Chain A
Amino acid sequence: MAIIVRLDVMLAMRKMRSKELAERIGITEQNLSLLKSGKVRGVRFETLSAICRELDCQPADLLEFTPDEPA
């Protein structure tokens, strides 16, 4: 997968639990869990903006691009 979600790292750094973040940004814990594991097709700017606001970080702190290995 080319995009790696580093949300769990940021949550650990801010010492915040998933449940609390989910409540603050207004999405379900299940959806936040899917986002953390990268099992989503996309993230709305609205959600990304809310996460950055609550975790006091930049989108680049949450997402990382790694090129796929050629087969």
Chain B
Amino acid sequence: MTPQVFKARVQGFSAALMCATILFLVYYMYSSFQRAYRFCFGEPELWADHWRVEDAAIIENSSRVSYFLIWSVVILLSAIATVAAIHLLNRCRKGLIFDAGTARSIQVLGGILVVAMIGDQVFGALELYLVTQHNPVHVELIRWQYDPTDFKTAALAVVLFMFGWVMRDAIEVEQTNKGFV
């Protein structure tokens, strides 16, 4: 396979993946916000009927707003990471593959994914406390919830960040050597 053919294939694959990612982003934003809205405001009984919430608990509006806002931050962080991925795919679609901007995009994507994962962990730790805070008897403590999927994503994010770093260094070396005979 010649480099031109390989590049054309990467461009085609990136374009297809970009379209799919845009559709995913729209669906993710819609479904995530809809779920959070329904739980907090749209169908208030969902919270009251939660299996950890006691029957005598009265859910205050301020708690609902807090839950929704914290959840919104997590959704937005993930959405920003997805936008960064779309930006990266768009650069590849344009044929800007071995490029300083692409390397920076990879680093930004890795960095945002790490932040999104941290946000997810923080929210995961807070979630049960927020849901059960009005229980008269048993309120769940703020505690970290173990989820192996998050570890895998965080590891991938760190790898992406490091890959972007190495790529930037490689491009710098290439730029330095350019013009030498």
Contact = CB atoms under 8 A, between A and B. Distances in A.
Interface of A: 27, 31-32, 34-35, 40-44, 47
B176 to A, nearest CB: 9
The interface residues of chain A, by DSSP majority, are classed as: mixed
A32 B178 CA distance: 15
Interface residues of B, number: 4
Contacts of A47: 181
Given A31-B181, A34-B181, A40-B181, 16 more contacts: A27-B181, A32-B181, A35-B181, A40-B179, A40-B180, A41-B178, A41-B179, A41-B180, A42-B179, A42-B180, A42-B181, A43-B180, A43-B181, A44-B180, A44-B181, A47-B181
A44 B179 CA distance: 10
Nearest to B176: A41
A40 B181 CA distance: 7
Interface in B61-108: none
A34 B180 CA distance: 10
Contacts of A40: 179-181
A26 B167 CA distance: 29
A29 to B, nearest CB: 11
A42 B181 CA distance: 7
Contacts of B178: 41
Q: Of B178, B179, B180, B181, which is in contact with the most chain A CB atoms at under 10 Å from its CB?
A: B181
A30 B178 CA distance: 15
Contacts of A41: 178-180
A47 B179 CA distance: 13
